[in-house]
Amino acid sequence: MAKRIVVRRFGGPEVLELESGQPPAPGPGEVLLRHRAIGLNFIDVYFRTGLYPPPQGLPFTPGLEASGVIEAVGEGVTNFAVGQRVAYGTGPLGAYADLRTMPADKLIAIPEEISDEVAAAMMLKGMTARYLLKQTYAVKPGDSILVHAAAGGVGLLLCQWAKHLGATVIGTVGSREKAEIARAHGCDHPIVYTEEDFAERVKEITGGEGVAVVYDGVGQATFSKSLDCLRPRGLMVSFGNASGPVENFNLGILNQKGSLYVTRPSLFHYTGTRAELEACAGDVIDVVRRGILRIEVEQRFPLEQAAEAHRALESRRTIGATVLIP
């Protein structure tokens, strides 16, 4: 019997319950997919707590990212076949399962040289790094940028890719151990935010100029001070809420601090069409195959221990990527 994690009420990790149940046979445009690895992401926490309302309401199975093998295809599916290895990173919700039925147009074929765990860990996070660095703000040689949570799943990818693009990469981390990890992945100037004021340090590193862009997946705890890190007309990119959402923001502050720009983007608005999804995922696969991005899975949890995986993620005990194994 197939198994999945179900959320019946919003709350802490304890609301993640294991249940059995067979998914339906694939309908037109769908496939039956057996997961081999499932990506863990902070957006999973947002759905679990109700910060992001799940589209289908309660109950729901969380998870937007996984890799696996196709076991059956529905009518009209011509671009994928039974036995093919695939991955996805833009949902729909339901990845916390060993077997699921899902739309074929959300899948991306995975080359043999990329392992199942790497495939499960690189899609959502890798495509997030891609749109942030190439579309939200096109990083170019000579730019100085600030990456918050630089030793996290997205952070390590941002550091590596931005360094490849020619940027000077500054990153915040929570410990000296994480500082060394970030440094080994392209972060030129890791800042341990528990030991020094990151805004003052950024100004020191940039000679008082500030950075061109801040990539902030932390949210409430870092947002205000991040504005002080920007150069005039710099861009604040708030793409996550790990410490809570940013609320009651006064737009006049942007004028006072140098005619700054702020955006709150989402991967789903950059991959809304099949062509956009293929372009974004294709770019990620290319840089992984070429060794520009190293996707390092540092934590693994059985699917049944999804609650413990969430506790580790929320308590900042994880480094790099984490996967659930069905």
Percent of the chain with pLDDT over 90: 93
pLDDT of residue 284: 98
Asked if pLDDT for residue 281 goes beyond 90, the answer is yes
What's the whole-number mean pLDDT along residues 228-239?
97
**Radius of gyration of the chain from Cα atoms?**
20
Residue 316 has pLDDT above 80, yes or no: yes
pLDDT at 247: 83
Average pLDDT over residues 172-184: 96
pLDDT at 266 (0 to 100): 95
At the topology level, CATH places domain 141-264 in: Rossmann fold (3.40.50)
**Mean pLDDT within 232-259:** 91
pLDDT tens digits for range 100-118: 999 999 999 999 999 999 9
Contact between 153 and 125 under an 8 Å Cβ cutoff? The reply is yes
Q: What are phi and psi of 73, to 5 degrees?
A: -125, 145
Q: What is the mean pLDDT of residues 188-203?
A: 97
Tokens 């060794």: give the residue.
291
Can you give the pLDDT at residue 244?
A: 80
Encode pLDDT of 16-60 as tens digits: 999 998 999 999 999 999 999 999 999 999 999 999 999 999 999
Across 136-142, average pLDDT: 98
Instruction: Enumerate the domain spans of the chain.
Output: 3-123+295-325, 141-264
- Count other C-beta atoms under 10 Å from residue 284's C-beta: 24
Beta bridge partners of 67: 37, 87
Does residue 172 or residue 221 have the better pLDDT? 172
pLDDT averaged over every residue in the chain: 96
- Is pLDDT above 90 for 320? no
Q: CA 89 to CA 63: how far, in whole Å?
A: 9
pLDDT over 70 percentage in the chain: 100
Tokens of 222: 């870092």
CATH topology of domain 3-123+295-325: Quinone Oxidoreductase; Chain A, domain 1 (3.90.180)
pLDDT-based confidence at residue 242 (cuts at 50, 70, 90)? confident
